[in-house]
Amino acid sequence: MAQENVEVVRKPLRVREGSSRALDERLALRFPATSNLFRRLGLRLPPRSRIRQTLGWRAVRLGYEAFNRRDFDAVLINYHREVQLIPPAALVQAGVVESSYRGHDGYRRYFREWLSAWGAYRGETQELIDLGDRYLTLGWLEGRGGGSRVPVTQEHASLMIMRDGLVIRQQEYWSRAEALEAVGLQE
């Protein structure tokens, strides 16, 4: 649902290939309370703040890179313990996955189930949209079937709702247009 009077900042975002844990990821895993404090402070800045843009852009990029190397401890640095993950509606309707997953263990279970069907599989981003207390990423997923090795490319969007500097809810979409409509934006 769209919010009125929300400052929207759109910024291109690309994921690097072959990444490893960055120093700030290692520090966040070792000192989570300090990391959470800086994240909360950064999110209090207005969306047009260069510091906020840099922090948000970097956190999302590092999260996608961690996902692509299957480093779920690093992915979950920015996620609340009670995060709710909502998979794409098409997957739920097809009976492939559950309608919702809760917490870090649920997050890991969802991706373990989903990734078990795929050999090579990675997320690519094209754009990050800062909507104040929400971030929307637009991009695509690339993979090959685990058995068939058939290449697949799928549009992908992820809406992350923030609370206290952490993602409390993540809604996945397989349609860029549907995700933009959900936040009250158009192409």
User: In CATH, what number is assigned to the domain containing residue 71?
Assistant: 3.10.450.50
Span 99-121, pLDDT tens digits: 999 999 999 999 888 877 676 78
The DSSP call for residue 78 is G
What is this structure's pTM?
0.89
Mean pLDDT of 52-68: 93
How many C-alpha atoms does 24 have within 13 Å on its Cβ side?
A: 15
Predicted confidence at residue 183, as pLDDT, reads: 95
> Does any domain span residue 145?
yes
Residue type, 60: V
Predicted confidence at residue 50, as pLDDT, reads: 93
Look at 45-59, 144-158, 167-181 and tell me which has the smallest mean pLDDT: 144-158
> Does any domain span residue 156?
yes
Look at 1-15, 53-67, 106-120, 159-173 and tell me which has the smallest mean pLDDT: 1-15
Span 21-53, pLDDT tens digits: 999 999 999 998 888 888 888 888 998 999 999
> Does any domain span residue 1?
no
118 lies in which domain range?
A: 9-182
Mean pLDDT of 80-92: 94
Alpha helices (H) in 45-159, listed in sequence order: 50-68, 72-75, 89-93, 103-115
> Does any domain span residue 4?
no
> Does any domain span residue 62?
yes
- Structure tokens that stand for 61 in this block: 């990029």
> Does any domain span residue 3?
no
> Does any domain span residue 71?
yes
How far is Cα 168 from Cα 78, in angstroms, rounded to an integer? 9
Q: Among 173, 165, 135, which residue's Cα sits nearest to residue 42?
A: 165
In order of 84, 171, 172, 183, the CA distances from 178 in angstroms are 19, 11, 10, 9
* The total number of structural domains that make up the chain: 1
